[in-house]
Amino acid sequence: MTDDPMVDAPFGLLAELTYRCPLACAYCSNPLNLDDYTEELGPADWIRVLTQARDLGVLQCHLSGGEPLLRRDLPEIVAAAHGLGLYTNLVTSAVGFGRRKAEQLRAAGLDHVQVSIQADAPALSDRIAGLRSFDRKIDAMRLVKELGWPLTVNVVLHRQNIDRIAEVLELAQEAGADRVELANTQYYGWAWRNRDALLPSREQLAQAELVVREARERLPMDVLYVIPDYYSRYPKPCMGGWASRQLTVTPNGDVLPCPAAQSLPLPRASVREASLAQIWADSPVMNAFRGTSWMPDPCHSCERREIDFGGCRCQAFQLTGDAARTDPVCHLSPDHALVTDAVRAANPGAPAGNLVPRPHRA
């Protein structure tokens, strides 16, 4: 753990093992500049990172990407995390999750599997994913339950699929899911490029909330529903506060307070050059927006400053070009018109734009 009494230990590590992925989802939040991340950490590097994370206080390790199944050494990495006592969660598209790989991961000690689906209908799901993958996802979910894992089904919602929440929940129930995450698109990376085609209308959201409310009362599984930031009165408390409880390690070893922070013009910190403990406590990228002293007004004088921490720094930068400004999602932000204009364009009378798919990187 860090020796600085003012810095809490992180609870969770997002280990982005690779940004390679067989899918081409138009809402992908991974970086646009994928060529900067081709020099991936090797298994020995990841084992060192996991050991340092455990020593720092991390309890949960989420193995993500891209598609982590593209790493042939994934079972080795899982076994190392398991041996360190970390709770491991595989975040996967399920493409490549066959019986042999699943049994290897089970033997390695993997604790949990999260499968993403794009929609309940095969044609729509495959179109959104950019690959015929729906049937493989269904087979993978059955295999997860057969091998005794808890199953989370994750669906990124947007204008193209939000009207099918009821059918998606029915599919998840039939698959035996223990938890469903209905997460509206966050507009970074490719999702930012495709915002006009992805942002749902108020009418779609109102109907979706009715469906979710009814499902929570009826279904035996946990249903998490995250509304789009753009329709919120206040911003979300991003990651529980900047560099407060979570950290991300990217495929090339960069360490970030959240998965989207690679877009910010901040000094880089890498596990190739320093320990996680040093980076967590002392690096400029971790301390840039930690706490509340950095805040301008209206955040600095707002009674919510320790509730939402000024909102999302990456979203503030994406919309205004200044990561220190109040998140424009907040109705008190001087830049709030940037959000209301986007919402106005997404509502009746405004045609949806055309999706630009993320390139395949397998």
Q: How far apart are CA 119 and CA 303, in angstroms?
A: 40
3-state secondary structure of 7: coil
B/e letters for 106-131, b = 16+ CB within 10 Å, e = fewer, are bebebbbbbbbbbbbeeebbbbbbbb
The answer to whether the annotation marks 28 as part of a ligand binding site is yes
CB atoms within 10 A of CB 40: 18
Report which secondary-structure segment, H or E, holds 338. helix 337-345
Name every residue whose Cβ is closer than 8 Å to that of residue 53 and which is 6 or more positions away in sequence.
Answer: 10, 13, 61, 86, 276
The answer to whether the annotation marks 238 as part of a ligand binding site is no
Q: Quick check: 333 and 298 in contact, CB under 8 A?
A: yes
Identify each DSSP E strand in the chain by its residue range.
Answer: 12-16, 60-64, 87-92, 112-116, 151-157, 179-184, 222-226, 246-249, 255-256
What SS3 string covers 246-313? EEEECCCCEEECCCCHHHCCCCCCECCCCCHHHHHHHCHHHHCCCCCCCCCCCCCCCCCCCCCCCCCH
Please give the structure tokens belonging to residue 16. Answer: 């982005």
Residue 15 phi, psi dihedral angles, 5° rounding: -95, 100
Side chain identity at residue 207, one-letter code: Q
The strand pairing partners of 157, in sequence order, are 184
The answer to whether the annotation marks 302 as part of a ligand binding site is no
Name every residue whose Cβ is closer than 8 Å to that of residue 217 and which is 6 or more positions away in sequence.
Answer: none
Side chain identity at residue 112, one-letter code: H
Q: Quick check: 201 and 348 in contact, CB under 8 A?
A: yes
Please state the residue numbers annotated as binding site.
Answer: 21, 25, 28
Please state the residue numbers annotated as binding site for [4Fe-4S] cluster.
Answer: 21, 25, 28
